[in-house]
Structure 1
Amino acid sequence: MIRVAKTAGFCFGVNRAVETVYKLLDEDKTVCTLGPIIHNPQLVEELGRKGVRIIDAPEDAKAGETVVIRSHGVPPEVIEKLKALGVDYKDATCPYVQKIHRLVSDGEREGRRVMLAGDAKHPEVEGILGCCKTSYRTFKTREELENLFKNEPELAEMPLLFCEQTTFNVEEWEKCLDFVKKVCTNASVFDTICKATTNRQREARELARESDLMLVIGGRHSSNTAKLKEVCEPYAQTYLIETAAELAALPVKGKANIGITAGASTPASIIKEVLVTMTDKIETNELNFEEMLEESLKSLNTDEKVHGVVVSISPTEVYVDVGRKQAGYIPANELSNDPNAKPEDLVKIGDEMDLLIMKTNDQEGTIMLSKKRIDAIKGWEDIAAAMDAEEILTGKVTEVVKGGVIVLYNGIRVFIPASQAVANRGDDLEALKGQDVQFRIIEVNRQRRRAVGSIRSVLREQRKAAQAKFWESVEEGQEFTGTVKSLTNFGAFVDLGG
C-alpha cells in the first residue's frame, strides 16, 4: 500500500515565488534570481533552460533584467542596494518570513536581544539576522541553547525575544521552549514556525508510524526536507531522494506499507514521477498500481473543476462557497490576468463562476482556486478559431513590455510586437496602455501558451476603407478639417482621416 502525505509538495511561499518567475517569463521579461529560487535542482535547471540566471549579489544584475527575491527573503541592505542601483526587482519573500523580520525589528526597538532558533548559515536566517542592528544569538538544539546560558548567565535576566526559523523542527522547538520557561525571567516568545511546516512534520510523523518504509522527496540542500527525514527516522526506515531515478538503489520491493512525503520545494511532477516508477518496485494483492496511483494523487487535487458562489471579497482574495466543507478562496492574482484589476471591480457577492482547484489544504480546511485558468482554457478555443477565421477581436492593453504590448482577451494574454502595435514606426506604445484596441491573431503556440496578434493589420484595413470612402464622395470646393502631418518647402501634408 502506498500513501502520499496530503501536505506533500509546494508550500504557499515557495509556490508564490515560483509563480512570480513564471509570470515574468510569460511577460517576456529577462529574469534572474538572487540565489536559487528554491532548493530543488531539477526545477532550477528547468528555469535555467528558460534563460533564468542565478546571481549572488545585486550588482551582478545586467541591464534590463528583473531580479526576483526568493521566499527566504534578504537583509534590508540588499533591498536598499537594488534601489540604489536602479535595478527592477520583485520581492517574493514569504509572508511568514516577512512577519519574523517585523518581529525582530520591533523587538530591538523595545530593547530586546534576539534569540533565533535556526541554522545561522541558512539564507532565511541570514535575512532575518540582517534586520538586527544589535547583538543576537542563534541555536539549533536545546543543548546549544543551554550552553549559551551557561557561558552567558546574564542572559537569564535580560529582556529577550525568542523566535524560530519557519522550517525549524517542531519537537526540538518545544524542548527549547520548556527550557526558556524555566530559566528566563523577561522573555517574549513568538512561535514563528510556518503552520504548513508544522502540519507537514506532524503528518509525516504519523505516516511514518504506520509505514515499513518512508520516502522523503526533495532537494538535499533543502532545510525543511532534511527536517522531514529527521522526523520520520525514529519510526520507519527512511530515505531522502531527489528524483525517481534513485529508487533503483533502494530496498523498496517487498515492503507492504510505504509512506511518501515531500519538502516544500518539491514540484508535484517529481512526486508523480516517483509514484509511477513504483510500478516495477511494488508487489501487492490489495490494489493494482493504477488504483493506488489514482488514490495517492487525489491529495494533489490538480485540474479538478468546481462551481462556486462568491460570498466575500477582500483586497487580496475572493472567498467562494464550492459546496464542500473546506473554505474556497481565489488569490487576486488567480482571478484575472490583468495585473491592474482589483477584486472588487471584477466580481460581486452572489456571482457564480466555474473554477479550477489549485491546491487543497485539509489541515487548514481551505481550497485555493483559480478563475483565470478556467478562463484561459475557454479563451484558447476562441483564440484558435479567431485565427483560422481571420476574425477581428477587441481587447484591452494592460501592459507595455519589452518589445511590444500585452492585450487581454477572454483571460488570454496576447503579445503584440511593437512592429504590429502601431500604424507608424516611432508612435508611442505607452499611449496604448489602458485602451481598448482591435486586433487579429497571427500566431498561436498552445504548448508555450503564447498568442501573438497584430493591431496594425486592422488599422491598415480601416485606413484603406476610409480612403475608399473619401474618394467616392470628394468634390472640388468641399471644406474639410484635417491635421497637419508634415511641412515641406513646397507645401503641407494634411491628414483628412484616411
Structure 2
Amino acid sequence: MSGKVLLAESAGFCYGVQRAVELAEKTAAEQGSCWMLGDLIHNAHVVAELVERGVHKTADSASLGAGDTVIIRSHGELKSVLDELERRGARCVNATCPNVVRIQRLVSQAEQEGRQPLIIGEPHHPEVMGVASWCAHPLVFDGPDSVKLWLSENSENRETPLTVVAQTTCIRELFETSWKILKKECTNVKIFDTICNATHKRQTEAAFIAGQVDVMVVVGDRKSANTKHLTEICMKECPRVLQVESADELPHGIFTGCSAAGLTAGASTPAGIIKEVYATMSEEIKAAEGKEESFEELLNQSFKTLNTGEKVTGIVTAITPTEVQVDVGAKQAAYIKLSELSDDPTAKPEDIVKVGDEIETYIVRVNDVEGYAELSKKRLDAVKVWENIETAVEEKTVMEGTVTEENKGGIVVSVKGVRVFVPASQSGQPRGADLSAMKGQKVQLRITEVNRARRRVVGSIRSVSDEARKAAQEAVWGSIEVGKHYTGTVKSMTSYGVFVDIGGVDGMVHISELSWSRIKTPSEVCKVGDTLDVYVISFDPEKHKISLGVKDHSVDPWTVFMNKYSVGDVASVRIVKLMTFGAFAEVVPGVDGLIHISQIADRRIEKPEDVLSEGQIVDAKITAVDEEKKKISLSIRALLAPTVEEAAEEAPVEE
C-alpha cells in the first residue's frame, strides 16, 4: 500500500446531483436560458459553469413570473415558493432529488393523518427547511440531545403520534440514536429511514479508508452538508484529515512520511476536481518517497540470510528445462524445481514466469555447505490460498470459483484450487432444482466456514446473489421515475397481466397495457423469458408496487386508421368478439369495427357464430365511419355476389 492513494469508489456526484445538473443543462440548451433559485447544488465550480451555459442565478423568487423557466434545486424548495411561482405562471422544472421528494410526501401525509412530523437533520439546511414547509407544524432536531430536551419539556410529548424522518445526508449514528430514544420513550412512533443509500455507502467507505491511511483528504464545497459529515466521520478514524475544495488547497509537504493516503469527495463534487486532487496527491507522495536508500540499508540487504520455512522475494534470472533460477539477494544460489513451481503437471514454466519477473516463494531447504537454496512457489501459493480463505471468512469477502461437481446435498466449487462445499440451500437455486446444470459455471460466493485441519471449506452463493439483488433493487427505487423506460424480462404470467423484472424489481404490466389489439390472455403476445421494452406508469415506494406499460401511447390507433382507410375501402380484419347482434373485428391494432349480423352473409343467419369464429381473418368493406364517436361499420355481405332473390329484387320493373 506504500506510496498509494486509496480513492473511494463512491466519491463524486450522487444520482440526485447528477440528475439536477443534467436537467439544468438540458433546459438551458433547449430554451437558451433559464433560472435557478440560489445554488442548484452545493458546489461553486459547478454553479459557475451552469451560469456560463445560460442558467441564471437569483435569490429573489418574486422577480420571476410568466415566461420564466425555473430549475428547482436538488435540495428542494419551500412549498410556499413553489406555489407562488405556479400562481405567477412561471414554468418549474423540478430537479429535486427523488429521495427528498419522498420525504416531503411523508411529512405531508403524516400531518394529514393527524400525526406529528419530526425531522432529524440540520435545521437551517435548505433540504430540511424545504421538507419542513410541506407541513404546518414540523419538529426539527439536530440529534439525540435535542430529542431528549423536547421529551423532558412536557410529558404529553410522549403521547404524541410521531412520524420520524431524516435528512438524506444525516449521519446514520445520529439518526439511529435519536429514533431509538423516541421508540423507547413514546407510545406511537413510525420510523422512516430516509437517509440516502448512496450517502450511507459513501460515509461507511470513507470511515473504512480513513482507518487505513496516514492522511485523509475530503474534497467538496464548504457549504455542503454531506462533505462536512464525511470530514467529521474521517476525523474519528484518521489523525490527519483535510477538507479542500480543489487541489490548490493541498498544503505543501503534508504527505512527507506518509505511506498511504485516502481520498473521498462529497456528493456535489464533479469528477474533474476529484481527478485533479488525486493526481496532485499521487505526485506529492511519490516525491516524498524519492529519497535514496542509505548505504547501510543496501549493505544489510546484500547480506540477506535465508532460513528454511520463510518467505522470500526474488527476481527470475533463468529458466531451464528442469528448474527456474532466482536471485534472492543472498550469497546462496536459489532455484525452484519444476515440480515446486505449480500444481498443474502439464503447465510449462515459461507460461508461469518470465525472466525478470519478481516472484515470491517459500524456502524449502538451505544448503550453506554447497551454497544453494531450494524454493517452492507451489507451497507458498497453497499457504496463501488458505490464508486468503480464512481471511475471507472474517472479512466476508466475495470470491470467485468454478462449479466442478454436484455433491450429496449441494455442489463443489473450486476456488483457487481449494474445494468449497456449497449446500443446496445456499446454491442460489430454487428448492428441487437440478444442480448438475451448474457444473462448469463461474460463480461468486462467500466463505462461511473453514476447518484447515480437516481441509473443509463451506461457502454460500446465495448470500452474494441476495446482496446483489438487494443492491439492484435499491438502485431501481433510487432512480425510478414516471415515464422512465427499462428493458425487462417476463418472470411470470397471470390471467390479468405479466410480471416483468426491470433489474431486481418486478413490475406489473396489466393485460390492457400489453397490446393495442384486443387479447384474452397475455400468452397471445409474450411468454416467460421474453424481453420487453417497458415504461413506468406509476409506482408506490411504500408498498413496493410498480405499474408498467408496453403500448406506445405516442401513437394514436384512430389516427393510424384514418390515415390508412376511407369509406368504401376493403380491409383484411380479424374477428375479435362475437355478439348476438353481430361481430367486432380489429381493423388496425386498437381500433375495432362492427359487422352487423345482417352484413355477415348473403343470406339470413340465426347467429354470427354460424359463419364466423373468433380469430378468423376475413375481408370486409368499410361502409361508414363516425369520426366523432370513433365508430366504424363493416360489411362482408357487400363483397359477396348477390343471390338470385337479391338480383330479382334489384332488377328494374318493365312497364
Q: Determine if the TM-score, normalized by the shorter chain, exceeds 0.5.
A: yes
Alignment partner for residue 485 of structure 2, among 317, 339, 343? 317
Find 1:277's aligned residue among 267, 277, 280: 280
Which residue does 1:39 correspond to in 2? 42
More helix by share: 1
Write out aligned runs for 1:399-414 (5 A). none
How far has the Cα of 1:213 moved from its partner? Answer: 1.2
- Give yes or no for the alignment of 1:13 onto 2:16: yes
Q: Is 1:170 aligned to residue 167 of structure 2?
A: no
What does the per-residue CA deviation read over 1:17-36, in whole Å, with 9 as the maximum and x for residues that have no partner? 00001111221431110110
Q: Deviations for 1:142-166, whole angstroms, at most 9, x for unmatched residues?
A: 1111111112332111111111111
Aligned length: 307
Structure 1 residues 97-496: aligned runs within 5 Å = 97-133=100-136, 135-236=137-238, 237-249=240-252, 251-283=254-286, 315-319=483-487
Long gaps (5+) in structure 1: 288-312, 322-326, 330-343, 353-498
| Residues 216 and 285 of structure 1, relative CA distance in 2, 3 Å threshold | closer
User: Could you list the per-position Cα deviations for residues 30-88 of structure 1 after superposition, in whole angstroms to 9, with x for gaps in the alignment?
Assistant: 11101101100111112222332212243223764321001111122222111111112
Determine if contact 1:216/1:261 at 8 Å carries over to the other structure: yes
Q: 1:256 touches 1:284 (CA, 8 Å); kept in 2?
A: no
C-alpha separation in 1, matches of 2:86 and 2:68:
14
Structure 2 residues without counterparts, runs of 5 or longer: 291-480, 490-500, 504-514, 517-525, 534-655
Displacement, 1:249? 4.6
In structure 2, distance between residues paired with 1:61 and 1:7: 37
Aligned AA (2:16): G
Which of the pair has the greater relative contact order for Cα pairs under 8 Å at 6+ separation? Answer: 1
Decide whether aligned partners of structure 1 residues 250 and 222 sit closer, same or farther in structure 2, where only a CA change above 3 A counts.
Answer: farther
Per-residue deviation at 1:235? Answer: 0.6
What is the distance in 2 between the residues matched to 1:317 and 1:231? 38
Query: Are the counterparts in 1 of residues 256 and 288 from structure 2 also a CA contact under 8 Å?
Result: no
Letter in 2 for 1:156: R
**Contact preservation (8 Å) 2:214, 2:258:** yes
Q: Distance in 1 between matches of 2:186 and 2:278?
A: 48
Q: Which amino acid aligns with 1:99?
A: R
Match of 1:89 among 89, 92, 110: 92
The 1:286–1:249 alpha-carbon spacing in structure 2 relative to 1, beyond 3 Å, is closer
The residue matched to 1:27 in structure 2 has which SS? helix
Q: Alignment partner of 1:38: what SS?
A: coil
Counterpart CA distance in 2 for 1:271 and 1:74 is 28
Amino acid at match of 1:77: S
- Assess, with a 3 A threshold, how the Cα gap between structure 1 residues 320 and 215 changes in structure 2: closer, same or farther: farther
How far 1:241 sits from its partner (Å)? 0.5
How far apart, in 1, do the equivalents of 2:65 and 2:14 lie? 30
Question: For 1:355-391, what per-residue CA distance to the aligned partner results, in whole angstroms no more than 9, with x for missing partners?
Answer: xxxxxxxxxxxxxxxxxxxxxxxxxxxxxxxxxxxxx
Give the direction of change, closer, same or farther, for the CA distance of 1:19–1:157 in structure 2 (3 Å limit): same
CA contact under 8 A between 1:216 and 1:262: conserved in structure 2? Answer: yes
- What's the CA shift for 1:314? 8.9
The one-letter code of the counterpart of 1:194 is: C
- Partner Cα separation in structure 1 for residue 164 and residue 141 of structure 2: 11
Distance 1:225 1:32 in 2: 26
Quickly say closer, same or farther: Cα 1:57–1:252, change in 2 above 3 A: same
**Native 8 Å contact 1:254 1:283 kept in 2:** no
- Structure 2 distance, partners of 1:151, 1:254, is 53
Paired with 2:144 and 2:282, the residues of 1 have a C-alpha distance of 43
Give the deviation of 1:281 after TM superposition: 0.8
Q: Which moved more, 1:231-240 or 1:21-30?
A: 21-30
Q: Give the ranges of 4+ consecutive aligned residues of structure 1 lying more than 6 Å apart after TM superposition.
A: 284-287
Q: Is the 8 A contact 2:41 2:73 kept in 1?
A: yes
- Alignment deviations for residues 305-363 of structure 1 (CA, whole Å, 9 cap, x no partner): xxxxxxxx994132479xxxxx997xxxxxxxxxxxxxx99xx96599xxxxxxxxxxx
Cα contact 1:74–1:124 (8 A) shared by 2: yes
Retained in 2: the 8 A contact 1:30–1:64?
A: no
Deviation at 1:250, TM superposition (A): 6.5
Contact 1:36 1:44 in 2 (8 A): yes
Cα RMSD after superposing both structures: 3.0
Q: 1:250 to 1:120 in 2, by over 3 A?
A: farther
* Structure 1 CA distance for aligned equivalents of residues 114 and 285 of structure 2: 59
**d(CA) in 2 for partners of 1:138 and 1:314?**
31
Distance in 1, matches of 2:488 and 2:213, equals 37
1:24 aligned residue (3, 24, 27):
27
Question: d(CA) in 1 for partners of 2:284 and 2:236?
Answer: 24
2:539 is aligned to none
1:68 aligned onto 2:75 = no
Aligned residue number for residue 292 of structure 1 = none
264 and 51 in structure 1: CA distance in 2 versus 1, 3 angstrom threshold: same
Distance (Å, rounded) in 1 between the aligned partners of 2:287 and 2:502 = 37
Instruction: Check whether the contact 1:253–1:283 (CA below 8 A) recurs between aligned residues.
Output: no
